[in-house]
Structure 1
């Protein structure tokens, strides 16, 4: 019998700035998935796959307002979706960062 997944199962560095006492996995699903995608370890990736499923992760990644380039490449490859389909890619094209170009 598998034990239920809790916030304590994830890497502590992911949520250093979040009050975990009232944290709700479902209410903050997109924030949670994005944080794990960008800063999580492979153990954290496996946990969100088990908890939310690939379809929910795909939806959250497609609608994320910002993802770093490495994470965007990762989810683009995993889901076999062109980078141009992601909201964060379109947003980056609309507002180019002139200082780091």
Structure 2
């Protein structure tokens, strides 16, 4: 039995910059998945995993423009996909870093 979720079930800090009444799990799924991957708690991860499934999360994450290194490594390992297949990795490699610190 799949539990019914609402945006309020996700951590409030994820959508501090958005009117949550305008978010919809289907229409806003890219934004929701991105925010949970980057800033979410394990409870948020479990919710999106149940709502979208791993295949949809994989498809979305492969096309995201940015992901932090830890999240990228986790997803790469979870989905058994080389990091170079992620769009964010390709973009990061093609952007020159002017500051070395």
Per the TM superposition, whether the score is higher than 0.5 is: yes
* 1:99 matches 2:99: yes
Q: Which runs of 5+ in 2 are unaligned?
A: none
- Report runs of 4+ in structure 1 exceeding 4 Å deviation: none
* 1:74 matches 2:50: no
CA contact (8 A) 2:10 2:44 kept: yes
Two-structure CA RMSD over aligned residues (Å)? 1.4
Cα distance in 2 for residues equivalent to 1:50 and 1:77: 19
Q: Which runs of 5+ in 1 are unaligned?
A: none
Match runs of 1:1-101 below 5 Å: 3-100=3-100
How many correspondences in the alignment? 101
CA contact (8 A) 2:58 2:79 kept: yes
Compared with structure 1, are the counterparts of its residues 53 and 100 closer, same or farther at alpha carbon in structure 2 (3 Å cutoff)? farther
